[in-house]
């Protein structure tokens, strides 16, 4: 069996209600850096773009990955759509290739039939020991999402990217 060698540093950004979550991977199961950053102020987009710019200068990713929200019709996503446009402009300005994946694409990258974000987070925690202790408990129906769950959303974007570029299994 031949192991695949990846030569790409992937930075996945996931906007959150309070800022953004990010995950930096050098291979599908090899995170290098991750975190959830809170952006202060009423308008989160300029602060988020500034923080992502600093992050890109520091880590110099080969690819920037975002969730494809072009089909989201909820007015709640208006800020996120504007933020994605700003991050797209940032990627073009810094000449960083940009990849986007929809929620169905992320679900299909996890071949085990994972449906919910939490089930995908459980799978990530099972395969990446560094994330195991960051998995929040299951959300109660009357509670909002735990901020740590956004970290798993960013990680799922990066892992989806690696799955999309992997091609067929080596012999």
Q: Convert the chain into a string of H (helix), E (strand) and C (coil).
A: CCCCCCCCCEEEEEEECCEEEEEEEEECCEEEEEEEEECCCCCHHHHHHHHHHHHHHHHCCCEEEEECCCCCCCHHHHHHHHHHHHHHHHHHHCCCCEEEECHHHHHHHCCCCCCCHHHHHHHHHHHCHHHHCCCCCCCCCCCCCCCHHHHHHHHHHHHHHHHHHHCCCCC
Could you state, in order of their start, the residue ranges of all structural domains in the chain?
10-165
Q: Does domain 10-165 have CATH number 3.30.200.20?
A: no
Report the pLDDT value the prediction gives residue 170, as an integer from 0 to 100: 44
Q: Can you give the pTM of this predicted structure?
A: 0.87
Taking the chain (171 residues) in consecutive chunks of 10 residues, what is each chunk's mean pLDDT? 68 91 92 92 90 94 90 68 91 94 86 77 91 86 81 94 72 40
């Amino acid at each position: 069996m031949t192991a695949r060698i990846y030569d790409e540093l992937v930075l996945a950004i996931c906007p959150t209600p309070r800022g953004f979550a990010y995950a930096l991977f050098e291979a599908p199961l090899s995170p290098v850096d991750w975190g959830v950053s809170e952006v202060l102020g009423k308008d989160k987009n300029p602060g988020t773009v500034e923080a992502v710019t600093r992050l890109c200068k520091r880590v110099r990713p080969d690819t920037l990955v975002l969730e494809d929200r072009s089909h989201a019709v909820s007015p709640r996503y208006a800020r996120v759509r504007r933020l994605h446009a700003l991050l797209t402009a940032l990627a073009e300005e810094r000449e960083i290739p940009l990849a986007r994946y929809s929620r169905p694409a992320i679900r299909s990258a996890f071949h085990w039939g994972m449906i919910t974000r939490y089930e995908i987070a459980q799978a990530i925690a099972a395969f990446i020991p560094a994330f195991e202790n960051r998995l929040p408990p299951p959300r109660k129906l009357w509670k909002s999402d735990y901020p740590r769950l956004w970290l798993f959303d960013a990680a799922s974007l990066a892992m989806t990217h690696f799955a999309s570029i992997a091609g067929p299994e080596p012999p």
